[in-house]
Amino acid sequence: MTCAATAAAYQRDWLKGLRRQITDGADYAFVNADTPHELFHFMDVPMVTNQWWSAVIAAKQLAPRYFDRMEELGFHAHLPRYSSLPLVAQMEGDFDLQPWGGLPSPALLCARASSDEHPRIFQRWAELTGADLHILSAPATPDPAPDWWVKARSDWEELYGTPRLDLMVDEMEGLIEALERMTGRAFDHDGFAEYMARIDAQERVVDEVADMLAAADKSPMSISEQMPNVMIPQWHRGSDWALSHVRAFRDEVSERISQGTAVCEDERIRMMWIGAGLWFDTSFYSAFEDSHGAVFAWSMYVPFAADGYIRADHGDPLRALAARVSAMNEQLHQPPWVNEWLVKEAKRWRIDVAVMLVPEHDRFSGYGSYFARNALREAGVTVVEIHSDMVDPRDWDREKMEARVRAALDELEAG
């Protein structure tokens, strides 16, 4: 069994347990992806992540139904979709159709105000469910260092700024108090330091994997296989299983490389997939291997595990967590962070072609796309823009999109 299959099996079992807990009436939290999950995990609070749940609904091919319904309910057609799909499903209440038979009402809601829509979406959740709502502030960084990843691992106080980190720590302490009330348990600061150290160790292993994948002559593993190997442990970061899994993942990658295993024996073109996963059509990632020897070698999930998560604690793990969270999503979308990081990664992974998902209905994820596109082109990377959405297949024309990528690949091969 490959590590990806092991991870998928673990996730299935874990989800069964989580589902059982939740459907049995355990209090759980419904949270956004860029919130401090570490606090929920450490306090043993069952947690469902909005964007993950959105991907699950999309993978069940239910998104068109809910997005059509969203407009019938009076929401307009240009509102962001990735973060709103679970809300609409919850409003619709047709739980018999939904994965797990739907979600019961959460006890606690948590979002960061990283984009304008998140507080509004979570306010609607609060009205719908009566759950306790926690919005974490997201002031922007006035002077973002273009090479943020250089300082992020250790010199993060200077990078993100003391006032912003103080604020995030203060607000996380408020969230901890809510979790203490919810669980009836006190937050163990010493134990949390050990937990954060395990997360750091886990992300450093993934960093080794990224180095290996980037340097390999040919991609030993497709991004479809990379994603579960890094993201499933990421959802469980700091657990014994997660640390053990990423080590096994590292060993598998190392072994494949030493044995000369390649996703595509005839690999001629290396590609990067920019943006969140195309959750309703993941087979797109392998569509160009036979025809052009073109392999999606890179997605953000492996390299971001290191650059986005490793934060030396300097004796203050809660502050290190604030450093991890306070610009988590911004680094993936906002100039100069996103353009500089993508160019760095493209060079490191010897990328020829970038396929960039531009979600027009999602300002936060869509803005900054052209800075990234232009920077990659200046770095010699061919960029194919795909204006679509991560979870909404209604405007997705697979044939047309494949043709656009093939045209770029043909042009590249023609020299």
Partner 1 sequence: MPVHTDMQQAFERRADGCDAAGRPLVGTFGEGVPRALVAAFGGLCVDVKAPPLSDASDGPQHTSVAAVAEPFLDSFTARFLHRFAAGAFDDFALLIFARDDVAGLAAYQYATELRRQGALPDRGPRFHLWNLLHTDSAPAARFNGRELERLTTQLAEVFGSALDPDRLADAVTAEVRCAEALAALPGGGAEAFVARNAGRWMAPSDHVGLLANAPESDAAASGPEIVLVGSACDIPVLHGLCEGLGRVRADLQDYGRTPPQGADTTDLLREIVLDPLSPRAVPPDRYTRVLQEETAGADLVIASLDANDDCFGWELPLLRQTVEARGSRFLNLGFRPFRPDAAWEDAARTKIEEALT
Q: Does 120 bind partner 1 (CB under 8 A)?
A: yes
Return the residue of 38, 117, 252, 267 that touches partner 1, per CB under 8 A: 117
Q: Does 146 bind partner 1 (CB under 8 A)?
A: yes
Report yes or no: 275 and 357 within 8 Å, Cβ to Cβ. Answer: yes
C-beta closer to partner 1: residue 166 or 251: 166
Q: Does 370 bind partner 1 (CB under 8 A)?
A: yes
C-beta closer to partner 1: residue 58 or 111: 111
Q: Does 360 bind partner 1 (CB under 8 A)?
A: yes
Residues 61-90 that bind partner 1 (CB under 8 A): 73-76, 78-80
Q: Does 278 bind partner 1 (CB under 8 A)?
A: no
Query: Within 13 Å, how many C-alpha atoms sit on residue 5's CB side?
Result: 3
C-beta closer to partner 1: residue 18 or 113: 113
Q: Does 94 bind partner 1 (CB under 8 A)?
A: no
Binding segment for partner 1 (CB under 8 A), chosen from 137-145, 151-159, 274-282, 319-327, is 137-145
Query: What is the pattern of x (binds partner 1, CB under 8 A) and - over residues 216-255?
Result: ----------------------------------------
C-beta closer to partner 1: residue 169 or 197: 169
Closest CB 79 distance from partner 1, rounded Å: 5
C-beta closer to partner 1: residue 123 or 254: 123
C-beta closer to partner 1: residue 107 or 264: 107
Return the residue of 36, 119, 228, 393 that touches partner 1, per CB under 8 A: 119
Q: Does 364 bind partner 1 (CB under 8 A)?
A: yes
Q: Does 374 bind partner 1 (CB under 8 A)?
A: yes
Provide the binding-site residues for partner 1, judged by CB under 8 A. 73-76, 78-80, 113, 115-117, 119-124, 126-127, 133, 135, 137, 139-140, 142, 146, 163-164, 166-167, 170-171, 174, 334-336, 339, 358, 360-364, 366-371, 374
